[in-house]
């Protein structure tokens, strides 16, 4: 039956607690979904959503993963940020935006999120089910962090996705709510609605910066973020 957004996040909290227990792990930050027009149109929503990132599902670039472990292997190249300090709920100055959230960013990481769901009835999928299923997060792989990230024009930064060294997709930072920092600001503004706030050291993936690509066993996936580095996954 239909559920509202607060109920969906309450279900997500219970799922996250169960996953922490079964994986013997802890959360290390957040993923943001529905930050591109393509994703919002697909799910008939006009706003992003968030899920949690787990330490056990965070892998270094170059990792080999078993393709059969995932119900789907949707590959999402994303700009990720590490927080340098706690982000207090926004005050009388108004909500955070791309400029006011900048001082809270320690570094930017090139990353790939792997989308994977735990749902029956995928044909009846909607944004509230996405939220309830921890924003269909299956894992993420990150490259080397860049601390002097402010010298980069993230809005126009190009990302190229390769499968077995063949170019398959190209994306840009402006595909993510017009700027990846807009996604981070959205999260900082919306977490307090659910009694949360961003904390120092947490990592945040900001959403796919191109169309999505589905990988299969036998593919080596490489997201080339140019001067920000690259991320590689081998699926077997």
- Give the pLDDT confidence of 130-179 residue by residue, as tens digits: 999 998 899 999 999 999 999 999 999 999 999 999 999 999 999 999 99
Question: Band of the pLDDT at 123, cuts 50, 70, 90?
Answer: low
Cβ 170 vs Cβ 160: under 8 Å: yes
Three-class DSSP category at 216? coil
Instruction: Report the side by side order of strands in the sheet with 166-172.
Output: 63-65, 230-235, 220-224, 158-163, 166-172
Q: What percent of the chain is predicted at pLDDT more than 90?
A: 82
Q: Any idea what DSSP says for residue 159?
A: E
CATH architecture of 5-61+72-157+171-212: Alpha-Beta Complex (3.90)
Give CA angle at 85 (7, 159), nearest 5°.
75
Domain chopping of the chain, boundaries: 5-61+72-157+171-212
pLDDT of residue 156: 98
Q: Is the pLDDT of residue 210 over 80?
A: yes
Three-class DSSP category at 124? helix
pTM of the model: 0.94
pLDDT of residue 121: 56
């Amino acid at each position: 039956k239909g559920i509202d957004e607060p109920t969906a996040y309450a279900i997500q909290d219970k799922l996250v607690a169960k996953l922490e227990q079964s994986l013997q792990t802890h959360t290390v930050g957040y993923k943001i979904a529905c930050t591109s027009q393509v994703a919002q149109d697909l799910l008939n929503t006009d706003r992003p959503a968030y899920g949690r990132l787990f330490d056990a599902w965070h892998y270094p670039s170059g990792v080999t993963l078993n393709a059969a472990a995932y119900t789907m292997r949707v590959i999402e190249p994303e700009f990720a940020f590490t927080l340098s300090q706690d982000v207090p709920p926004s005050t009388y100055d108004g909500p955070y935006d791309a400029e006011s959230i900048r001082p809270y960013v320690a570094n930017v990481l090139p990353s790939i999120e792997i989308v994977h769901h735990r749902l029956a009835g995928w044909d009846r999928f909607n944004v509230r089910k996405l939220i309830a299923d921890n924003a269909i997060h299956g894992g993420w792989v990150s490259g080397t962090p860049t601390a002097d990230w402010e010298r980069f024009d993230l809005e126009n930064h190009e990302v190229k996705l390769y499968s077995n060294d063949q170019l398959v997709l190209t994306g840009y930072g402006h595909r993510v709510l017009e700027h990846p920092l807009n996604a981070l600001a959205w999260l900082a503004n919306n977490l307090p609605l659910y009694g949360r706030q961003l904390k120092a050291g947490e990592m945040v993936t900001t959403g796919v910066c191109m169309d999505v690509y589905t990988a299969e066993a036998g593919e080596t996936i490489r997201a080339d973020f140019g001067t920000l580095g690259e991320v590689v996954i081998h699926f077997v």
